[in-house]
Chains A and B, each alone.
Chain A
Amino acid sequence: MKHGSFFWFVLPSVILMILFIALPIVSVVTQSLYTQHEQVIVTVENCGPFGCTEAQSVDQEATQALRDAQPLGKFAGLDVYKDRNHLAITDVARAWENSDSFRGFWNTLMNLPFYGALSFTLTYTAIVTPMTILLGFAVAIAVNSVARSLRGPTIFFSLLPMIVTPLVGALILFWMVDARGILGTGLQWLANDPTLSVKASTPMMWIMLMVYGTWSSIPFAFIVYYAGLQTVNQDTLEAAMIDGASRWERIRYVVIPHLAPLTTFIALIQLMDNFRVFEPIISFQAQAHARSLSIAIFTDLGGETRLLSSAAATSVLTIVFVAILLSPVLVRTWRDFGTSK
């Protein structure tokens, strides 16, 4: 295709992506280097019958004027990154010196907002992604080996957890595990503890969030694997069988290698989606027990005072982690393209 016509064809799409994806990223990076203006303090002398006192008060008008004149705030360099809500360099250093065991250091670290959010996000991603792949594969194998009449309904109902709005799907589960809901009551009965409440316990909350994450993405892995299973070479399977391969050996040496490229694809999509885990935490009202990086940004942006700089710094750190996460894939895609030319 000629350069000229290519340019006109991609122009609208590229303009949109530059304006609303690339520039906001630049704007986030800039914002993270600035911090909000401090309030303008004026000293007022109050003279009364008993002498004069000096009082300090906030000059609201001047503060507002200053903030309006420079909406970005004042330049702070990397200060926002170093503060307690982000990398917390001084706190980490102090904790490292003061704690006598690694465990103590770890506990202090997890109580710092950024490291707490990071550890939840990474744990969530590291557990939900393989669980999704394993269970999705199991469902696909099972669907493939039952009668055809069951396949249609399976695909239909399986699509539900994935297609439904994440906020809604998580809410539905949350209401069911509520202490007064059917699953919550069932858990209390199983554990023989009438006071058991998922909402009140951090480990239970983490488990529920991961159960939701797995539940809502199994369908995706299942559908992709199921489509892949339809293209397994039947002759190879039969040949393996004639050579005496058992059922398991056929799965292990014929089916799994055939599905390997699909696993890479599912893992890539799941890593990207799990790393941004956001809606379930809102639905489960779990901010007290589990905060992800997205939640940290969302909390900074909401509320009375919008902490734009703090949100921006967390955003930049998140982008760095996304880049690290994606780097193997990017390098591989780049190399593949290089060899294919």
Chain B
Amino acid sequence: MSTATQRPLNVRFLATSFLVLWLILAAFPFLWTVWGSFKVEGDFFSKADWANSMFGTLTQAETGGAFTGAGYFGAWIQEEFWRAALNTTIVCFFVVTISLTCGTLAAYALSRSTYRYAFWLLLFALIFRATPPIILVSGYLLPFFEWNLWGHLSTTIIVLVAINQPFTLWMLHSFFKNIPKDLDESAMVDGCTRFQAFRHVIIPIMWPGVITTGLFSFLLAYNDFAVTQMLLSKENQTVVPKLFSFLGTTQTKGNVMFAVAAVVSITAPLFVMIVFFQRQIVSGLTAGAVKG
């Protein structure tokens, strides 16, 4: 360590305690909810004594064990959350593949063109990126009803792909900018067409950027609420609108635990994703900023 980066003890103590505080703030709500999802409602919301939610006093009394899977059973089997999970898988898979296919082609062209219209296209993409999705939804409803497009998974997939495009373009654009122009240009000097140069020279080396962008496309599709809630019919719901429908019917006892179980089920895949792709997510977040 150079002398410039050495810290006095009190500064280090302050920094460490601040960090520990932030870590608790960031992680504790999730751990708490995962723990609570295996309890009954009386323990999850323990008015009498907060220690109940730790030791599961009421869960013990009602079910005979300290943990219960009743919330998960109710949500996944009784309320057919599995159907929503299946729909989400379909939607995410197609949104990511179509977004990346259209996005890589366009972003590659944008990164290689020096004309002014390429810049205008990126600028418009930025404006589109700033438009709240709910505004677009209010534009879709009438035509979709008129042409009987409302409610289908395929419509939602195409809409999500389109809403993803501006972001995908910007991100992939900054990745392609970092691939030297000489590579594909020398291939073209050797007689390749532009598309052949893209196919044989760029595609083999573009995967790190594409995987990172794909992760963010997945997140946009998976986390969306405005579009999926307004454009999907009840039987085609994905997990997030399904969770929202649990919230509307929480009057009866125990139903709120369905929602808690659904919340944990929705978070789990994201958690796994961070475990495996932490490096790519971080590089994606910084890609636009540090270089641009």
Q: Which residues of A contact B (CB under 8 A)?
A: 1-3, 5-6, 9-10, 12-14, 16-17, 19-28, 31, 71-72, 138-139, 141-143, 145-146, 150, 153-161, 163-169, 171-173, 175-176, 178-182, 185, 215, 218-220, 223-224, 227-228, 231, 234, 237-238, 241, 247, 250, 262, 265-266, 272, 275-276, 278-279, 282, 285, 293-294, 297-298, 300-302, 306, 308, 311-312, 315, 318-319, 322-323, 325-326, 329-330, 333-334, 337, 341
Contact = CB atoms under 8 A, between A and B. Distances in A.
Interface string B30-49: 10110000000000111100
B274 A180 contact: no
B64 interface: no
B290 interface: yes
B76 interface: no
Contacts of B116: 341
B125 A17 contact: yes
Nearest to B145: A71
A319 B45 contact: no
Contact of B106 (A13, A145, A159, A325): A13
A5 B194 contact: yes
A304 to B, nearest CB: 14
Contact of A165 (B109, B114, B119, B222): B222
Nearest to B108: A9
A187 to B, nearest CB: 12
A176 B29 contact: yes
Contacts, number: 294
A181 B124 CA distance: 45
Interface in B236-292: 240, 243-244, 247, 259-260, 263, 266-267, 270-271, 273-275, 278, 281-282, 285-286, 288-290, 292
A72 B145 CA distance: 12
A12 B22 contact: no
Contact of B131 (A21, A150, A179): A21
Interface of B: 2-5, 7, 11-12, 15-16, 18-19, 22-23, 25-27, 29-30, 32-33, 44-47, 50, 53, 101-103, 105-106, 108-110, 112-116, 118-119, 121, 123-143, 145-146, 158-159, 161-163, 165-166, 169, 193-195, 198, 219, 222-223, 225-226, 230, 240, 243-244, 247, 259-260, 263, 266-267, 270-271, 273-275, 278, 281-282, 285-286, 288-290, 292
Nearest to A337: B119
Contact of B281 (A1, A159, A161): A159
Q: 7 closest A-B pairs (Cβ-Cβ)?
A: A24-B139, A20-B162, A9-B109, A13-B106, A180-B45, A276-B132, A227-B286
26 contacts: A5-B194, A9-B105, A20-B136, A20-B158, A21-B131, A25-B136, A26-B139, A27-B139, A146-B19, A155-B278, A157-B26, A157-B27, A159-B274, A168-B263, A168-B266, A172-B30, A175-B33, A178-B45, A220-B285, A224-B289, A238-B2, A276-B132, A294-B132, A298-B230, A306-B141, A312-B138
B23 A71 contact: no
